[in-house]
Amino acid sequence: MNYYHEKKLAHAYLISTNNINKCLKVLLNVIKNIFCVDTFSDNCNKCSLCHLIDINNLPSLKIIAPDGEFIKKAQILELKNFFAKNSIYTNESMYIILNAEKMNKESANTMLKFLEEPDSDVIGFFLTNEKDNILPTILSRCQELTAHFPNAYYEELNIAEDKYQELNNILKEYLMKIEIEKRKQILYNREYLSNLNLDRSDIKVFLQMMLFTYKSVLNNELEENSPYSFLNKYSFNNIEKKTNLLIELLKEISYNVNVELLLDRLVIEFEVINNETL
């Protein structure tokens, strides 16, 4: 935005990002901010330009995504022809190339010619999550930017998405058993965990997810339709004790403590906490 207002925008930007979709969302907001004819806010419902961007129908903004495996030459040619006429809608015309590393040699060469004859009113954004695969000739004609977004929760936990789903389902079922159904049979709760046959690293992630859940109850951060909203019936004191216990157990599991003993403690101490505080 600053570059734009200082009239220092380059003709082409290469944005490397770890999340193309989120990056596109932010970029479109910047573009709306530039084009908006009203006072821009995140939900400008007033002006038609913002609306046209929302429905991807603004004639002076083109978004190109890979057609199958590649971004094809025909797609770049179409873009070129499109911008041959000046925009009557906005001062500048803009295009966004999603997964720019998917340009094959042919389309990259066509793109290159387009970049070499810079029309001052056309600005391009090349988004990539594989910067190393961008052709050097393209790279050298772009200003580089990076946009890093926090990873999905399962990526933070360093596990695959399906593993995350599996453990998440187990967590839901387990918490419902111990916190809703109030099965006071410690042995039963303990057996349930044993029967899951989780290995040490799974148990660690399981405890991390459990901690994350209790922490979000503690901080009042459960999402509105969270499957864990039943935990809200417990007092702050109760949830805080469980949170602290989980932090302690997670420390211990890093110290090679016996996992069976650790799960014993989890089950027993949760029971104690629930008996002492509601």
Q: Which of these ranges, 31-39, 92-100, 129-137, 190-198, lies near Zn ion under the rule CB under 5 A? A: 31-39
**From CA 138, how far away is CA 62, in angstroms rounded?**
19
Q: Which of these ranges, 8-16, 38-46, 123-131, 137-145, lies near Zn ion under the rule CB under 5 A? A: 38-46
Neighbour-count burial for 115-148, b at 16+ CB within 10 Å, e otherwise: beeeeeebbbbbbbbebeebbeebeebbeeeebe
> Measured from the CB of residue 60, what is the shortest distance to Zn ion in angstroms?
14
> Measured from the CB of residue 54, what is the shortest distance to Zn ion in angstroms?
10
Q: Which of these ranges, 39-47, 77-85, 148-156, 228-236, lies near Zn ion under the rule CB under 5 A? A: 39-47
The answer to whether residue 191 forms part of the interface with Zn ion (CB under 5 A) is no
Of the two residues 44 and 193, which places its CB atom closer to Zn ion in the complex?
Answer: 44
> Measured from the CB of residue 45, what is the shortest distance to Zn ion in angstroms?
8
Beta strands per DSSP E along the chain: 12-17, 61-64, 93-97, 122-128, 143-147
Residue 161 burial (CB count, 10 A): 11
Residue position matching structure tokens 């709306």 = 32
> Measured from the CB of residue 1, what is the shortest distance to Zn ion in angstroms?
14
The answer to whether residue 36 forms part of the interface with Zn ion (CB under 5 A) is yes
> Measured from the CB of residue 38, what is the shortest distance to Zn ion in angstroms?
5
93, two tokens = 């015309």
Type and span of the H or E element at 251: helix 236-254
> Within 47-86, which residues bind Zn ion (CB under 5 A)?
47, 50
Of the two residues 44 and 122, which places its CB atom closer to Zn ion in the complex?
Answer: 44
Nearest to 94 by CA among 140, 130, 56, 68: 56
Of the two residues 44 and 267, which places its CB atom closer to Zn ion in the complex?
Answer: 44
196, two tokens = 């899951």
Of the two residues 44 and 171, which places its CB atom closer to Zn ion in the complex?
Answer: 44
Of the two residues 50 and 142, which places its CB atom closer to Zn ion in the complex?
Answer: 50
Q: Which of these ranges, 41-49, 83-91, 150-158, 255-263, lies near Zn ion under the rule CB under 5 A? A: 41-49
How do the residues of the chain divide into helix, strand and coil, expressed in percent and rounded to 5? 55, 10, 35
* Sequence-ordered list of residues with C-beta below 8 angstroms from that of 104, at least 6 positions apart, any chain: 70, 71, 72, 73
Half-sphere exposure of residue 220, counting CA atoms within 13 Å on the CB side?
Answer: 1
Q: Which of these ranges, 44-52, 100-108, 141-149, 154-162, lies near Zn ion under the rule CB under 5 A? A: 44-52
> Measured from the CB of residue 64, what is the shortest distance to Zn ion in angstroms?
23
> Measured from the CB of residue 90, what is the shortest distance to Zn ion in angstroms?
12
R_g of the chain computed on alpha carbons:
27
Site string for Zn ion, 90-129 (x = CB under 5 A): ----------------------------------------
The answer to whether residue 38 forms part of the interface with Zn ion (CB under 5 A) is yes
Residue ranges binding Zn ion (CB under 5 A):
36, 38, 44, 47, 50
